[in-house]
């Protein structure tokens, strides 16, 4: 993400992400879970802008409605955008100021990382607009305070994330991937999905070692362009727990398979399901087919920033 200056204002696009692999390696002493995950950005975006005002700091959120190109305004004072802006301001010893506007197109409670991406975008935008001069490590420290996925969005492209998600290892050389994304009408709370994990679903040391091997095989298959083979290594430890909370997830996964997707899995803590397509053309065709089945919001997209 790179902020752009437009007159006296600044703007930035904040992409969604997909988890092509997600393993839970155990419960940490701080109450969070130790994760190992492969994230890729996709071409579904929120749009954030900042403009100067005489006094105060405000946020307007425009929410994408179900009607194409329709937006509605609503107040969201606890949005991560304002929290991120306040962190930057406190770090450099000023008052947060200006008018932020967020056009929200990434669905919420979907496992697509929209809130985390918005927070990272705010850190970058405020750093430029306020001439804060914060370094990448300083921004990463603030990002870790805001949420597990936020540090990932400060980087560009696919990455393996570990710990809570704050340890980011960028990857290069992965091919462009094509996806069908199905967001059901319902969302899922991340804390609730993690709470649903049973003790038997938390890997032992041996299973953690197996996870590292599986991740390596997935990345190797992607690097050589063997997308079909790579799908065999894609998995999400949270999927079974999410399906116990929302059984509707499993029929959507089946529909993606029956429509011809190479692989199918849930992203993040849900509720979005993802199908891996052979091409952009196939992704668009499957998206049109599934849109007629009233499964929720269906989109064809691809990896990229």
CATH number of the domain to which 18 belongs = 3.30.230.10
Q: Which DSSP string do the residues of 186-221 spell out, in sequence order?
A: S---HHHHHHH--GGGS--HHHHHHHHHHHHHHHHH
- Catalytic residue list contains 5: no
Residue where a domain stops, chosen among 170, 186, 213? 170
**What's the CA angle centered on 136, arms 114 and 82, to 5 degrees?**
40
Catalytic residue among 17, 104, 183, 253: 17
Residue 46 and residue 85 in one domain: yes
Q: Are residues 109 and 222 in the same domain?
A: no
What is d(CA 128, CA 137) in angstroms, rounded to the nearest whole number?
16
Looking at the structure of the chain, the number of domains it has is: 2
- Kindly name the residue from 118, 149, 183, 253 that is annotated as catalytic: 149
Instruction: List the CATH number of the domain containing 261.
Output: 3.30.70.890
Regarding whether 124 and 24 lie in a shared domain, the answer is yes
Of 170, 192, 223, the last residue of a domain is 170
210 is catalytic: no
Q: Are residues 84 and 31 in the same domain?
A: yes
Separation of alpha carbons 169 and 161, rounded Å: 6
Of 150, 170, 190, which one is at a domain's C-terminal end? 170
Do 211 and 64 fall within a single domain?
no
pLDDT tens digit at each of 305 positions of the chain: 899 999 999 999 999 999 999 999 888 777 778 899 999 999 999 999 999 998 899 999 998 654 444 444 444 444 799 999 999 999 999 999 999 999 999 998 899 999 999 999 999 999 999 999 999 999 999 999 999 899 999 987 999 999 988 899 999 879 999 999 999 999 999 999 999 987 655 556 666 778 889 999 999 999 999 999 999 999 999 999 999 999 999 999 999 999 999 999 999 999 999 999 999 999 999 999 999 999 999 999 999 97
Write out the H or E segment, with its range, that includes residue 59.
strand 57-64
Residue 273 has what pLDDT? 98
Q: Which structural domain range is residue 188 located in?
A: 178-302
Q: Are residues 11 and 151 in the same domain?
A: yes
Q: How many CB atoms lie within 10 A of CB 281?
A: 11
- Specify the pLDDT at position 145: 94
């Amino acid at each position: 993400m790179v902020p752009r200056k437009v007159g006296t204002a600044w703007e930035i696009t904040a992409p969604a992400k997909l988890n092509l692999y997600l393993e839970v390696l155990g419960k940490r002493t701080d109450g969070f879970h130790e994760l190992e995950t492969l994230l890729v950005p996709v071409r579904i975006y929120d749009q954030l802008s900042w403009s100067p005002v005489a006094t105060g700091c405000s946020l307007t959120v425009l929410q994408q409605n179900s009607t194409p190109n329709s937006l509605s305004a609503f107040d969201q004072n606890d949005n991560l955008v304002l929290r991120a802006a306040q962190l930057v301001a406190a770090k450099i010893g000023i008052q947060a100021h200006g008018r932020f506007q967020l056009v929200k197109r990434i669905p919420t409670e979907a496992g697509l990382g929209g809130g985390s991406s918005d927070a990272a975008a705010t850190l970058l935008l405020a750093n430029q607009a306020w001439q804060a001069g914060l370094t990448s490590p300083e921004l990463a420290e603030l990002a870790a305070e805001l949420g597990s996925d936020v540090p990932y969005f400060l980087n560009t492209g696919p990455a393996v994330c570990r710990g809570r998600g704050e340890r980011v290892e960028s990857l290069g050389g992965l091919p462009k991937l094509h996806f069908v994304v199905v967001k059901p009408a319902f969302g899922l709370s991340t804390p609730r999905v993690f709470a649903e994990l049973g003790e038997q679903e938390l890997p032992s040391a041996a299973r953690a070692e197996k996870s590292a091997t599986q991740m390596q095989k997935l990345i190797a298959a992607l690097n050589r362009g063997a997308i079909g083979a790579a799908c065999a290594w894609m998995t999400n430890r949270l999927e079974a727990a999410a399906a116990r909370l929302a059984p509707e997830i499993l029929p959507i996964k089946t529909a993606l398979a029956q429509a011809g997707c190479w692989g199918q899995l849930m992203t993040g803590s849900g509720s979005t399901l993802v199908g891996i397509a052979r091409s952009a053309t196939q992704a668009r065709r499957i998206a049109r087919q599934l849109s007629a089945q009233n499964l929720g919001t269906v989109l064809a997209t691809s990896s990229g920033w």
